Amino acid sequence: MGIFDRLWGYFSHDIGIDLGTANTLVYVRGRGIIINEPSVVAVNQKTGQVVAVGSEARRMVGRTPAHIVAVRPLVEGVISDFEITEEMISYFIKKVHSDTNKFFARPRIVIGIPSGITEVERRAVRDAARNAGGREVYLVEEPMAAAIGVGLPVQDPVGNFVVDVGGGTTDVAVISLGGIVAAKNLRVAGDKLNQDIINYVRDEFKLLLGERTAEDVKIAIGSAWKLPETLETRVRGRDLVTGLPREVIITDADVREAMSKSVKSIAESVKEVIEQTPPELISDVMHRGIALVGGGSFLKGLDKLIEVETKIPVKVPDDPITAVVRGTGIILEDVDSLREVLVEHEEELPPT
């Protein structure tokens, strides 16, 4: 503690980070969510230099010379490229501290991590945040952060059920008394659904789609449950036979069929967690319902599918995509009383 800590605290904005496979969101204490950018870093392979981070790097995807590659440093919610993740966190810390002396910026950081990741993977997240300039680093499991973010009473002796469908992972958890009682982490989420669409269009229409096109299709006409009216969209890609550009029309039924296996596995995971949950908590959950959060909650009819499969009401709270980062923000505002929800507390850095 002492003078150094006060000095760092004076110059630093404490931040909460939802370090997602697809997007990274940053909450700044006292200011709210100020960053929501893709988790993409553009790297010059000749020099090893980082050229761009976030939105700017994403704009470069598929449009760069061969020696500049766009890297997604997190795969399925886990750090796959340590140095690049560190650069990305460092970029976000600098962006947050653009109004103060960056040299003195040593913020306290709360980071959301997928449930069920290994100790080694946790340490990688913590070390990346420390090396990027974090003074103290706290880790919280994403379903816990999401439950706090949407206002569920996680410290009470009641069952809170959260399904967080992100880009790389789906986290399903039952929370009570400040801890996770039953959970499952599934490497099937938004990115997998995009890949399902790419594979389906390739097999059925002999057309090769890009990842961004597949995501646009998913957002426009994707659904997990039969829709009242038929939707369709035109997609352009490369014809695998002629090698030339071609356009086809695909319908919501095509996309639903493409994604059906992955969507079913998400519903199955929810059922598995229900089976692991003590009966007293299940009766709470039946009464209180399941909270569906994350970007995947926007998939039309996913709430209906889970409700039909589990016979438990499913609610999508307001602004489900920011639930985790809002949770990290609430923890930042009151670390002492929410300490029990953290994975573990990283000891303070000695002053340097």
pLDDT tens string 303-322: 999 999 999 999 999 899 99
In a domain, 311, yes or no: yes
For the cut 90, the answer to whether the pLDDT of residue 161 exceeds it is yes
Q: Which residue, 242, 258, 274, sits at the end of a domain?
A: 258
Q: Which two tokens stand for residue 190?
A: 């938004």
In terms of Cβ atoms closer than 10 Å to its own Cβ (0-12, 13-18, 19+), residue 305 is: buried
How are beta strands 232-239 and 245-251 bridged, if at all?
A: antiparallel
User: Do 170 and 196 belong together in one domain?
Assistant: no
For the cut 50, the answer to whether the pLDDT of residue 66 exceeds it is yes
Gap between the Cα atoms of 142 and 110, Å rounded: 11
For the cut 90, the answer to whether the pLDDT of residue 352 exceeds it is no
pLDDT score at 348: 42
Which helix H or strand E contains 334, and what residues bound it?
Answer: none
Q: How many structural domains does the chain have? A: 3
Q: Which residues of 140-162 are buried (b: 16+ CB within 10 A; e: fewer)?
A: bbbbbbbbbbbebebbeebbbbb
In a domain, 11, yes or no: yes
User: Do 163 and 310 belong together in one domain?
Assistant: yes
For the cut 70, the answer to whether the pLDDT of residue 336 exceeds it is yes
Gap between the Cα atoms of 139 and 128, Å rounded: 12
User: Do 115 and 235 belong together in one domain?
Assistant: no
Task: Give DSSP secondary structure letters for 98-120.
Answer: TTS-GGG---EEEEEE-TT--HH
Gap between the Cα atoms of 75 and 90, Å rounded: 19
Cβ atoms within 10 Å, residue 88:
27
- Domain limits at 113? 2-39+74-145+323-345
In a domain, 51, yes or no: no
Q: For all residues of the chain together, what is the average pLDDT?
A: 86
User: Do 32 and 122 belong together in one domain?
Assistant: yes
CATH number of the domain encompassing residue 223: 3.90.640.10
Task: Give DSSP secondary structure letters for 214-244.
Answer: HHHHHHHH-BSS--SS--EEEEEEEETTT-S
The mean pLDDT of 2-20, rounded to a whole number, is: 65
User: Do 341 and 205 belong together in one domain?
Assistant: no
In a domain, 249, yes or no: yes
In a domain, 27, yes or no: yes
User: Do 240 and 293 belong together in one domain?
Assistant: no
Q: Which residue, 238, 258, 278, sits at the end of a domain?
A: 258
Are 81 and 71 within 8 A, CB to CB?
yes
User: Do 31 and 167 belong together in one domain?
Assistant: no
DSSP secondary structure code for residue 48 in this structure: -
The mean pLDDT of 76-95, rounded to a whole number, is: 83
User: Do 161 and 284 belong together in one domain?
Assistant: yes
- What are the C-alpha distances in Å from 98 to residues 11, 51, 90? 11, 19, 12
In a domain, 98, yes or no: yes
Q: Poorest-confidence range of 65-69, 214-218, 329-333?
A: 65-69
Gap between the Cα atoms of 22 and 20, Å rounded: 5
- Which are the contacts of 275, defined by CB distance < 8 A and separation ≥ 6? none
pLDDT score at 71: 83
In a domain, 234, yes or no: yes
The mean pLDDT of 243-271, rounded to a whole number, is: 94
For the cut 60, the answer to whether the pLDDT of residue 2 exceeds it is no
pLDDT bucket at 99, cuts 50 / 70 / 90: low
Helices 323-333 and 142-149 pack at an angle, to 10 degrees, of: 80
Q: Which residue, 214, 234, 258, sits at the end of a domain?
A: 258
Gap between the Cα atoms of 307 and 325, Å rounded: 26
Record the pTM.
Answer: 0.86
User: Do 169 and 303 belong together in one domain?
Assistant: yes
User: Do 89 and 29 belong together in one domain?
Assistant: yes
pLDDT score at 349: 40
In a domain, 60, yes or no: no
How are beta strands 41-44 and 136-141 bridged, if at all?
A: unpaired
- Which are the contacts of 50, defined by CB distance < 8 A and separation ≥ 6? 41, 42, 43, 44, 84, 87, 91
For the cut 50, the answer to whether the pLDDT of residue 1 exceeds it is no
User: Do 79 and 127 belong together in one domain?
Assistant: yes
CATH number of the domain encompassing residue 161: 3.30.420.40
User: Do 169 and 313 belong together in one domain?
Assistant: yes
Gap between the Cα atoms of 178 and 191, Å rounded: 30
